[in-house]
A and B are shown apart, each in its own frame.
Chain A
Amino acid sequence: MKVKYFAWVRERVGKAEETIEPPATVRTVEELIAWLSGQSEAYAYAFEKPKVIRAAIDHAHVRPDAAIAGAREIAFFPPMTGG
């Protein structure tokens, strides 16, 4: 699946997007955050406060317990500050 990062999450991860293949045991958004956090210091830093992180699956906001099965694109970003 494709993963995108925005704002300071992007800066901390060090890339805007990538394709990842998490193990089948990773089923939800929060499990994906935990799995990514274990991949490197950069991810651990980006996701150090997981409750702050917002997520979207295929362009729609989702909660941390949302299933990631079938997702084409998952995005992680800070709370939004547009307008």
Chain B
Amino acid sequence: MSSPVTTSPVTTSPATTCPVTIRIQQDDFDIAREIAALTRSRTDIGAVVSFSGICRGDEDSAKIAALTLEHYPGMAEEEIRRHADEAVSRWPLNGVTVIHRVGRFMPGQNIVLVLTASQHRQAAFQAAEFLMDYLKTNAPFWKKEESATGTGWVEAHARDDEAAARWTRS
């Protein structure tokens, strides 16, 4: 029996322009339902970009049996919100949804969802990529892998740091 660990739908001001929803939960998410929630009663949105992160069945040619996601309650929500707020300040967005699951996952199961809505696609694409790059390197979540050879914490990749660094403004 799983239930949301924390639910913190908060709306940035002005309320009707760019609602930001951030949730950390054990339960799965329904992408279509989340997109519908973001665009309902809106005619100013011309583009929604959706990114879903899914539990892979192998890592560097080793089979993965399951993945366990741990997080830092409180800070995880705040860190995602800081980056969502930055995305809203950098691109003309009309809505942002970030859902990150925690718990134990099998290959093929959803882990993370990022939705960005805008009038035009460029802002939505860029903001979604920015959010994912920062989520990987700065949001306090950790993955533990179970495989045939045992259980171990996933190591951070330099390529993720490099991906996040390209968004740094000089």
Of the candidates A4, A60, A83, the one whose C-beta lies within 8 Å of that of B141 is A83
Q: Does B144 contact A (CB under 8 A)?
A: yes
Is A23 positioned at the interface, with any CB of B under 8 Å from its CB? no
* Cβ contact within 8 Å between A8 and B72: no
Q: Do residues B156 and A83 form an inter-chain contact, with CB atoms below 8 A?
A: no
CB atoms of B142 and A81 under 8 A apart: yes
The residues of A that contact B140 with a CB separation of less than 8 Å are 6, 56, 75, 77, 80, 82
Contact partner, A6, options B53, B72, B135, B139, Cβ 8 Å: B72
Number of A-B contacts (CB under 8 A): 71
Contact flag A75-B154 (CB < 8 Å), given A80-B136, A80-B140, A82-B100: no
| Cβ of A59 under 8 Å from chain B | yes
**Cβ-based interface call for B167 (8 A):** no
Are A82 and B153 interface neighbours, CB within 8 A? Answer: no
- By a CB distance below 8 angstroms, the chain A residues around B141 are 80-83
Pair A83/B70 contact, Cβ less than 8 Å:
no
Given A7-B70, A77-B72: A82 in contact with B139 (beta carbons within 8 A): yes
Question: A79's contact among B70, B76, B156, by CB below 8 Å, is which?
Answer: B156
Q: Is B69 an interface residue (CB 8 A)?
A: yes
Q: Quick check: is A27 within 8 A (CB to CB) of the other chain?
A: no
A82: contacting residue among B78, B135, B155, CB under 8 A: B135
17 contacts between A and B (CB under 8 A): A4-B72, A6-B140, A6-B142, A7-B70, A59-B72, A59-B74, A80-B139, A82-B69, A82-B76, A82-B100, A82-B112, A82-B140, A82-B142, A83-B53, A83-B100, A83-B136, A83-B141
- The residues of A with any CB-CB pair to B shorter than 8 Å are 4, 6-8, 56, 59-61, 75, 77-83
Top 6 A-B pairs, shortest CB-CB distance: A82-B141, A79-B156, A7-B142, A83-B136, A59-B75, A83-B135
